Amino acid sequence: MNMLQTVSVVLRRELILAMRRRGDVLTVLFFFVIVASLFPLGVGPDPKLLSLMGGGVVWVSALLAAMLSLGRMFASDYADGTLEQLILTPTPPVIWITGKILAHWLVSGVPLILMAPILGVQFGLTSDALLVLVISLLLGTPVLSLIGAIGAALTLGLRGGGVLVSLLVLPLYIPVLIFGAGAVDGSMSGLGAEAHLSLLGGILVLAFISTPWAVSAALRISIE
């Protein structure tokens, strides 16, 4: 099998597994909506304040939701031994890891992107800002899956792994948050979002070419 075939086989498998357990996907989506809805209740319903915060709130909620779903990425394969078999195959791990991360993004990132404009409207974002929000999430959420995969791989099978992942991964998510929310802010204040979006794109490229290697190393450490 060549590289693309391997990626698509892994992708199909992951998507089928996700469709068989739709609850997991929906839980993450509802978590995203609930966290974002807590902010107006916490800080008060002032429309001006909410439209200022909107981009940042949606982004922070996306970060937390993405983190919540990280445990799924390798845990069940690790528990039933599939992961060891995958590592023993002659295919370089980087390839099927890329497939797995892609699947994770499709299952947990894309629903967030589809849901985000609705939340944005509730926070009173302008239509330009909504578009920028969607673009920034399109560029940013794959990075969350890529970086998160490192944390997920390192904490495989550890007690309290879920909390540990947040400590390991959230600090590394911060640049994505800054530029993602910054893009929405820039568009709201009329400064333009291009600079922030370009930086997000740069981070995405960098993460895409480097993190699968780190994940592969992390999996080898965890499996030994």
Partner 1 sequence: MINGLNWYKFASPATFYTLAGRMIPWFYSLAALLCVAGLYIAFFLAPTDFQQSEAYRIIFIHVPAAWMSMFIYIVMAAWAAIGLAFNTRLSFMMASALAPTGAMLTFVSLWTGALWGKPTWGAWWVWDARLTSELILFFLYLGFMALQAAIDDPRRADRAGALIALVGVVNVPIIYFSVRWWNTLHQGASISMTKAPSMAAIMLEGMLVMALAVWMYAIAAALSRVRSIILERERNSQWVAQMMEAEA
Cα Rg of the chain (Å, integer): 18
57: closest CA among 72, 41, 68? 41
Q: For residue 12, give the DSSP letter.
A: H
User: CA-CA-CA-CA torsion for 187, 188, 191, 195, nearest 10 degrees?
Assistant: -30
Owner of token pair 């439209």: 51
Minimum gap (Å) between residue 150 Cβ and partner 1:
6
Q: Which is nearer to partner 1, 110 or 172 (CB)?
A: 172
Minimum gap (Å) between residue 53 Cβ and partner 1:
14
Tokens standing for 180?
């993602």
Minimum gap (Å) between residue 178 Cβ and partner 1:
9
Q: Which is nearer to partner 1, 128 or 194 (CB)?
A: 194
Q: Which is nearer to partner 1, 25 or 78 (CB)?
A: 78
Tokens standing for 63?
């970060």
Q: Which is nearer to partner 1, 37 or 166 (CB)?
A: 166
Minimum gap (Å) between residue 203 Cβ and partner 1:
10
Q: Which is nearer to partner 1, 18 or 208 (CB)?
A: 208
Minimum gap (Å) between residue 164 Cβ and partner 1:
5
List interacting residues with partner 1 (CB under 8 A).
Answer: 150, 154-155, 158-161, 164, 167-168, 170-172, 174-175, 214, 217-218, 221-222, 224
CA distance 69 to 214: 19
Please name the residue ranges forming H helices in the chain: 3-20, 22-43, 47-68, 72-79, 82-88, 93-104, 110-122, 127-154, 161-188, 194-223
